[in-house]
């Protein structure tokens, strides 16, 4: 069975989404669809199921093909039990048994007997996912299936899809999920589709090769156009003999849109953090006789990058609300440093549904944002995050869900925080934005607390894990993959105490290893510069200006050398923890 796009065009008003797009999906393909937020990934899914129609071209589907679709924001009618809703698509040919429905609903950590009423976004997504998993289909379409799932549920879904025998198309930002579940990748870029018969890792390699080839071809075309333009600008007499076909060819090629790759980098600027940052002593929090955590103590250090994990509803977001003083701890003491400037990225934040433009929204915060590369205007910062052209003047109410999350991230970072608190920051963000967020956090000069179910993201940004277990928050010194490998959550003791787990092996976390290597490289570069400057001083004893300039440069390098040497000593002390 196949789904075949043939020369499909689609646009919203004047904004092209697809231009003469061709691709084929079969019931043997497990396909991941990737592209930046707002580019039209969800539109492709809606075109397949018939919620949207192409402006031209055709979409051919095999006769009698049964498609199940999980939307990003599912609608669920109220007044029925969870079980009845999940079983509603059963047929005489493909019935759904009670025990199947109960099993998958329970796996999604929901109650089969509960009545649908006032569900949270996460509950809706999990219930809708349960329904598509038990309903018969020839082809399964999933839009951000891992949003609102905890790690146990993500791993369960991952294993389910690995064994799945029909066609699959999904949009997801979870890179481990793509790697495990997909054998084909589609990339939507500037209204064109590029198809790769590859898993996610191989796709990245093939994409890089395609980008290099495109850059080479565009460079040749630019040189050709420059030469042709010079030819066209020659004198009037020469113009009379010019080939009409050559002129027409130039005019056609001159309309080519080049794929200019935007810089997408935003490095934090250092700001002063005092000796006291954030300290918790024996704090506790309960809801309706349920203990979320008790007797939890934490002294946040300047270099801490803490990943926070746990089941849905265990109290991760509540901890952040207490830290932001939106709620109060039941017991215990919280102390904050006076110099803290917290950047808080909330899971439940919503942009105003207004006619205010993207540019005006960021300019409200600041029109002068300090970065390591100098001062950026709000417009320049937005350009770095792919808000350019007409998007700058798009009303907030017209943005896609992913674009709203991306704009929320820009708003948080534009405040130049010295402490980041991030609650599920990767939800609804595209992979490209997530990668830039990872780069930003890696360069961030200050502590980071992050709740996330994105395993790839946590592996890249966290060097210590806080995890919820039996009414306690426990600590693991190491990255997230190490944590999953070394901590058996099902067999942990139930005492309400904070426990530190050290890795059973001596391998360094990859982030620490990279930092040590980079610092060693920097020291070597400074050694070479110092030696070169000393040589200049020695070989020019009578040239006063050269001596002044060289000595000034040497003084500056020596200051930097002392700073990096101090950092290197700290890294070596941290490394020793893994060698004992």
pLDDT in tens, 283-342: 999 988 889 999 999 999 888 999 999 888 888 999 999 999 999 999 999 999 888 889
Query: Is residue 213 classed as helix, strand or coil in its secondary structure?
Result: helix
CA distance 385 to 18: 22
Tell me, what DSSP letter sits at residue 386? T
As averages over each run of 10 residues, the pLDDT of the chain (580 residues) reads 94 86 94 90 94 95 92 91 93 89 90 90 90 94 90 89 93 92 93 92 83 68 63 52 59 56 49 77 91 94 91 88 94 92 85 88 81 76 81 88 86 86 89 85 88 91 92 91 80 37 50 80 83 80 76 82 72 60
CB of 362 closer than 8 Å to CB of 266: no
Count of C-beta atoms within a 10 Å radius of residue 328: 11
Of residues 408, 415, 266, the one with CA closest to residue 340: 415
Backbone angles phi, psi at 340, to 5 degrees: -65, 135
Which parts of 417-540 fold into alpha helices (H)?
Answer: 431-443, 455-461, 480-486, 510-539
Cβ atoms of residues 347 and 405 within 8 Å: no
- Phi, psi dihedral angles at 278 (to 5 degrees): -150, 125
pTM: predicted TM-score of the whole model, two decimal places: 0.69
Q: What gap in Å lies between CA 437 and CA 188, rounded to an integer?
A: 21
Cα–Cα distance measured from residue 114 to residue 108, given in angstroms and rounded to the nearest whole number: 13
With beta carbons less than 8 A apart as the criterion, state whether 438 and 340 touch.
no
The arrangement of strands across the sheet holding 56-61 comes to: 15-26, 2-12, 56-61
CA-wise closest residue to 81 among 95, 99, 101: 101
* CA atoms of 161 and 344, how far apart (whole Å): 35
Find out if CATH 2.60.40.10 is the number for domain 2-203: no
Residues 6+ apart with CB under 8 A from 260: none
Per-residue pLDDT, 330:
95
Tokens matching residue 409: 């991230």
For 278-501, which CATH superfamily applies?
Answer: P-loop containing nucleotide triphosphate hydrolases (3.40.50.300)
Structure letter (DSSP) for residue 355: S
Distance of CA 505 to the CA centre of its chain: 29
Under 8 Å between Cβ of 112 and 102: yes
- Tell me what pLDDT residue 53 has: 94
């Amino acid at each position: 069975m196949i789904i075949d796009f043939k020369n499909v065009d689609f646009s919203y008003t004047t904004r092209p989404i697809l231009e003469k797009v061709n691709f084929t999906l079969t019931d043997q393909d497990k396909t991941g669809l990737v592209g930046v937020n707002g580019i039209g990934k969800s539109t492709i899914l809606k075109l397949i199921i018939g919620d949207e129609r192409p402006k031209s071209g055709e979409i051919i589907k095999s006769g009698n093909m049964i498609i199940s679709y999980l939307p990003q924001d599912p609608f669920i009618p109220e007044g029925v039990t969870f079980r009845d809703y999940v079983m509603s698509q059963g047929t005489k040919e493909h019935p759904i048994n009670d025990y199947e429905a109960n099993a998958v609903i329970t796996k999604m950590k929901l109650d089969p007997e509960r009545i649908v009423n006032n569900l949270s976004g996460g509950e809706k997504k999990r219930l809708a996912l349960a329904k598509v998993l038990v309903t018969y289909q020839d082809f399964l379409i999933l839009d951000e299936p891992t949003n609102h799932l905890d790690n146990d549920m993500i791993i369960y879904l991952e294993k389910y899809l690995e064994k799945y025998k029909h066609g699959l198309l999904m949009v997801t930002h979870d890179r481990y999920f793509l790697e495990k579940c997909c054998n084909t990748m589609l990339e939507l870029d500037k209204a064109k589709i590029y198809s790769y018969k590859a898993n996610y890792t191989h796709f990245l390699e093939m994409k890089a090769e395609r980008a290099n080839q495109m850059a080479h071809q565009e460079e040749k075309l630019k040189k050709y156009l420059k030469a042709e333009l010079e030819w066209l600008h020659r004198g009037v007499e020469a113009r009379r003999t010019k080939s009409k076909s050559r002129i027409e060819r130039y005019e056609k090629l001159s309309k080519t849109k080049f794929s200019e790759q935007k810089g997408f980098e935003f490095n934090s600027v250092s700001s002063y953090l005092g000796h006291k940052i954030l300290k918790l002593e024996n704090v506790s929090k309960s809801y309706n006789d349920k203990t979320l955590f008790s007797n939890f103590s934490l002294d946040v250090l300047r270099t801490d990058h803490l990943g926070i994990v746990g089941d849905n509803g265990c109290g991760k977001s509540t901890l952040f609300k207490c830290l932001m003083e939106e709620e109060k701890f039941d017991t215990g003491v919280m102390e904050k440093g006076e110099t803290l400037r917290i950047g808080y990225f909330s899971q439940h934040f919503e942009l105003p549904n207004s006619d205010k433009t993207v540019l005006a929204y960021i300019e409200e915060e600041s029109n002068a944002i300090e970065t390591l590369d100098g001062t950026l205007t709000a417009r320049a910062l937005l350009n770095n995050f792919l808000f350019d052209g007409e998007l700058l003047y798009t009303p907030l109410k017209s943005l896609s869900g992913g674009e709203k999350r991306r704009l929320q991230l820009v708003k948080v970072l534009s405040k130049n925080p010295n402490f980041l608190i991030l609650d599920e920051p990767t939800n609804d963000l595209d992979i490209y934005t997530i990668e830039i967020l990872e780069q930003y956090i890696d360069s961030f000069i200050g502590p980071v607390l992050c709740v996330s179910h994105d395993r790839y993201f946590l592996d890249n940004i966290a060097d210590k894990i806080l995890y919820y277990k039996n009414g306690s928050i426990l600590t693991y010194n190491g990255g997230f993959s190490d944590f999953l490998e070394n901590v058996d959550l099902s067999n942990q003791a139930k005492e309400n105490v904070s426990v530190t787990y050290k890795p059973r092996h001596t391998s360094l976390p990859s982030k620490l290893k990279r930092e040590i290597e980079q610092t060693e490289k920097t020291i070597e570069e400074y050694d070479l510069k110092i030696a070169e400057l000393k040589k200049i001083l020695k070989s020019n004893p009578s040239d006063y200006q050269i001596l002044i300039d060289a000595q000034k440069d040497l003084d500056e390098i020596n200051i930097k050398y002392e700073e990096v040497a101090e950092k290197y000593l700290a890294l070596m002390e941290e490394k020793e923890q893994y060698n004992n």
